[in-house]
A and B are shown apart, each in its own frame.
Chain A
Amino acid sequence: DIVMTQSPDSLAVSLGERATLSCKSSQNLLYSSNNKNYLAWYQQKPGQPPKLLFYWASTRESGVPDRFSGSGSGTDFTLTISSLQAEDVAVYYCQQYYNTPYTFGQGTKLEIK
């Protein structure tokens, strides 16, 4: 199975500052035939289901603010929030869908400093 490792486990950032979340996979997630990385990012707020932020590692889901960006390829991926807002407090998960089982990272809890 592909193991997804997120870092850090928790992160405190001041309002308006940049937040950088990392996700590493144990195997390459870049599918050579279509040049797409089979990775998604989700945001989960307390008491709510997850919300899709990015698929194909960097394709922003409709309605997601452009202060969020997804980047990376192969085994190393990053979710960046350029200017942290209070409503961005949540747990963020990456998930690979290159192979079943479609494994998630353990999550990064993002808080306000």
Chain B
Amino acid sequence: QVQLVESGGGVVQPGRSLRLSCAASGFTFSSYSMHWVRQAPGKGLEWVSVISNDGNNEYYADSVKGRFTISRDNSKNTLFLQMNSLRPEDTAVYYCGREYFDSVDYWGQGTLVTVSS
């Protein structure tokens, strides 16, 4: 069955960096575009980024453009989100998700990132 498992979250000081990973299994990872979506505590969903199945195309929310980089390693079935220059407003649960007809059909359980001094 399809599984997505995020890791790499934690507490980090403002201005520092963090790299999230999403390990995928149960499907042909290299055939699917992948997304990151975040949710601040008690708030709604915010789309963060998407990467094409081959890694050649990537798009970002305005709020993270220039600070976050999405990437993937199809040989290891893993999606990444490199987060630099972190701000307190980046505090959220970060979900990875598999694209399905441009929506997201499978989601991980999320990993919490807390940006605080």
Across the interface, name the chain A residue whose C-beta is closest to B60: A101
CB distance from A5 to the nearest CB of B (A): 12
- Asked if A101 and B44 make an inter-chain contact with CB atoms under 8 angstroms apart, the answer reads no
Task: State the majority secondary structure of interface residues on A.
Answer: loop
Query: In the docked arrangement, what's the CA distance between A22 and B45, Å?
Result: 17
CB within 8 Å of B: which A76-113 residues: 91, 93, 95, 97, 100-107
Please name all residues of chain B whose beta carbon is closer than 8 Å to the beta carbon of A100 when the two chains form the complex. Answer: 50, 59-60
Across the interface, name the chain B residue whose C-beta is closest to A49: B107
CB distance from B62 to the nearest CB of A (A): 6
- Asked if A49 and B109 make an inter-chain contact with CB atoms under 8 angstroms apart, the answer reads yes
Is the interface on chain B under 10, 10 to 19, 20 to 34, or 35 or more residues? Answer: 20 to 34
- Asked if B95 and A102 make an inter-chain contact with CB atoms under 8 angstroms apart, the answer reads no
- Of the candidates B59, B100, B110, the one whose C-beta lies within 8 Å of that of A49 is B110
Does A1 lie at the interface of the complex (its beta carbon under 8 Å from any beta carbon of B)?
A: yes
Please name all residues of chain A whose beta carbon is closer than 8 Å to the beta carbon of B37 when the two chains form the complex. Answer: 50
- Asked if A52 and B105 make an inter-chain contact with CB atoms under 8 angstroms apart, the answer reads yes
Interface, chain B (partner A; CB < 8 A): 35, 37, 44-47, 50, 59-62, 95, 97, 100-105, 107-110
13 A-B contacts, Cβ less than 8 Å apart? A49-B110, A50-B37, A50-B107, A51-B107, A52-B103, A55-B105, A61-B105, A100-B50, A101-B47, A101-B62, A102-B47, A105-B44, A107-B45
A-B pairs with lowest CB-CB distance, top 4: A49-B107, A40-B103, A100-B59, A55-B103
